[in-house]
């Protein structure tokens, strides 16, 4: 089954190509603002960054009729939201995603009737088709947005992230630091303190002995 089967003309991401006819070279330019689809939550990388469901997406489209079908070239603009991977602060990113996709005419028999695709045909499963003169851009838009988004978004290129010891945001406290202690010296420091405590005890004991002799 084609990826865009059972299209609904009321869907804002479904476009009518009847005006093009089947005249190779015919062009149709469209501009439309739609809501980001709610399917599968954000339009982008789940849990990382994406265009929230219902957020406005501006589309500029060029539909061109060719021998095989309709070639769609377009640009999508929207604001993506996510979280910085370094400091975990929320961020916004102005997104511009370009795409181009071929929508094929359905196959027909010698009488011009649409034929059903062969079961198990992987090429047909991946093909985007025109259905009753309609094309659905949602799968194309999703792929384009994912490719345009950063896999590891940051709030700024030089974000220093979080302190590995206490978790404080380093951008808020550039001078933040912890005294570095070498664990090898820490052990010797503990031993030295133990020796010093022992010497103090011995000295206290000796002083006590002198005082006793003086009293006698």
| pLDDT digits 0-9 by tens, 12-54 | 999 999 999 888 899 999 999 999 987 655 688 888 999 999 9
pLDDT tens-digit profile of 158-213?
988 888 778 788 777 777 877 766 666 666 666 666 666 655 555 555 555 555 55
Alpha-carbon gap, residue 211 to 205, rounded angstroms: 10
pLDDT tens-digit profile of 88-113?
999 999 999 999 999 999 876 555 45
Alpha-carbon gap, residue 31 to 40, rounded angstroms: 25
* C-alpha distances out from residue 106 to 55, 114, 132, 145, Å: 33, 6, 9, 27
pLDDT given for residue 33 in this prediction? 97
100 and 71 Cβ atoms separated by less than 8 Å: yes
pLDDT given for residue 74 in this prediction? 97
Beta partners for residue 58, in sequence order: 33, 77
> CA 194 from chain center: how many Å?
55
Alpha-carbon gap, residue 13 to 101, rounded angstroms: 14
CA quadruple 69, 73, 78, 84: dihedral sign: positive
The residue with tokens 């501006």 is 58
36 and 57 Cβ atoms separated by less than 8 Å: yes
pTM of the model: 0.70
Q: Which residues neighbour 30 within 8 Å (Cβ) at sequence distance 6 or greater?
A: 15, 59, 60, 61, 63
DSSP, res 20: G
- Quote the tokens at residue 141: 């838009």
Q: Which of 34, 26, 24 has its CA nearest to residue 140?
A: 34
Q: First and final CA of the chain: distance in angstroms?
A: 111
**Which CB contacts under 8 angstroms, 24+ apart, belong to 209-213?**
none
């Amino acid at each position: 089954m084609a990826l865009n089967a059972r299209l609904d003309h009321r869907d804002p991401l479904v476009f009518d190509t009847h005006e093009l006819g089947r005249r190779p070279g015919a062009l149709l330019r469209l501009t439309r603002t739609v809501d980001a689809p709610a399917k599968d939550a954000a339009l982008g990388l789940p849990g990382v960054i994406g265009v929230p469901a219902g957020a406005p997406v501006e589309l500029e489209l060029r539909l061109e009729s060719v021998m095989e079908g309709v070639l769609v070239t377009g640009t999508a603009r929207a604001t993506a939201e996510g979280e910085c991977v370094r400091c975990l602060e929320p961020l916004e990113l102005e997104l511009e995603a370009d795409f181009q996709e071929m929508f094929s005419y359905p196959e027909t028999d010698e009488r011009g009737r649409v034929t059903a695709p062969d079961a198990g045909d992987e090429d047909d499963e991946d093909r985007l088709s025109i259905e009753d003169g309609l094309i659905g851009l949602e799968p194309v838009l999703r792929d384009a947005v994912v490719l345009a988004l950063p896999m590891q978004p940051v709030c700024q290129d030089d974000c220093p992230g979080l302190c590995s010891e206490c978790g404080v945001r380093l951008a808020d406290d550039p001078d933040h630091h912890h005294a570095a202690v070498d664990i090898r010296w820490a052990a010797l420091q503990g031993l030295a303190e133990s020796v010093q405590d022992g010497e103090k005890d011995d000295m206290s004991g000796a002083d006590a002995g002198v005082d006793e002799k003086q009293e006698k």
